[in-house]
Amino acid sequence: MPSARAWFPYRKPTDACELFAFAHAGAGSTVFSGLREALSGSCVALVPAVLPGRERRLRDAPHRDLPSLLAEFESMAIADEFSAFTGDYALLGHCSGAIVAFEIARLLEAAPCRGPRLLVVCSCLPPPLIRDTGTSRLPAGELFARTAELGGTPDALLADPEFLEMLERPLRADWELFDGYAHRPGPKLKTPILAVRGVDDPDLPAADLERWRDQTSGGFSTLELAAGHWALADAGAAVLAREIPAVLGEPRG
């Protein structure tokens, strides 16, 4: 069974609030490099998750549905006695990673550990509005073209045949997970939510972003960045790096 170290291999001892971050479909930890750098020196330390089928876990089969991914996460956390989630921490997800982060927040609120201090959801419709996009069933070329349209993956990599061959398995699995997602109504989170969108994102209108409010009984705020769907480009990362510590406020005891 994968360990907490496998899920969070770049985690280091810190007194800061840890921000466990989940990337969009097919992406790995490097997509958060800009945000992690922008947060350096603040009260927040970004810790990217590495999911099965990518980076150090390339040989692991990627999950094609969210329940199996959550089951692996829960088994890992139980075996680790939830030690990664006993201090100050928050969760962040971008696009499909926001749904993963949301469902993990639900799981952790019901677990014998501290709940997250904040859930940051970027460039993602609220759970009840998620629909099957059909992207997971596209031929490889169209799948890569759709991924390129959303941003967040360097053009040079998308032009590299060897990279694309390696990318297709986790990318298609992630889209299957997202396309197959079915929201399960349940108690609202107690965790506050910061919902983020790029002002030029055609897939996420401001009115839909506001509906994340319905998922929490805690605080709720929104942030619009000068960006498209890929909201964590350099300028967006700098703004978000100021906003997250501000929303968190003083570390709790």
Predicted local distance difference test score (pLDDT) of residue 84: 93
Would you write out the chain's pLDDT as a tens digit for each of its 253 residues? 678 999 999 999 999 999 999 998 877 788 899 999 999 989 999 999 999 887 778 788 889 999 999 999 999 999 999 999 999 999 999 999 999 999 999 999 999 999 999 999 999 999 999 999 999 899 988 888 887 776 656 666 666 667 676 778 888 999 999 999 999 999 999 999 999 999 999 999 999 999 999 999 999 999 999 988 888 887 899 999 999 999 998 444 3
How far apart are the C-alpha atoms of 138 and 78, rounded to whole Å? 37
Determine the pLDDT at residue 26.
Answer: 78
DSSP alpha helix (H) spans, the chain = 4-7, 33-39, 66-79, 96-109, 140-150, 155-158, 161-179, 206-210, 234-248
The whole-number pLDDT of residue 153 equals 64
Instruction: Please tell me the pTM assigned to this model.
Output: 0.92
Per-domain residue ranges of the chain: 4-130+183-248
pLDDT of 155 reads 65
- Residue-level pLDDT at 252: 41
DSSP 148-175: HHH--S-HHHHT-HHHHHHHHHHHHHHH
Give the per-residue pLDDT at 121. Answer: 98
Q: CATH fold of 4-130+183-248, please?
A: Rossmann fold (3.40.50)
Predicted confidence at residue 50, as pLDDT, reads 93
Q: Are 100 and 69 in contact (CB under 8 A)?
A: yes
pLDDT at 214: 97
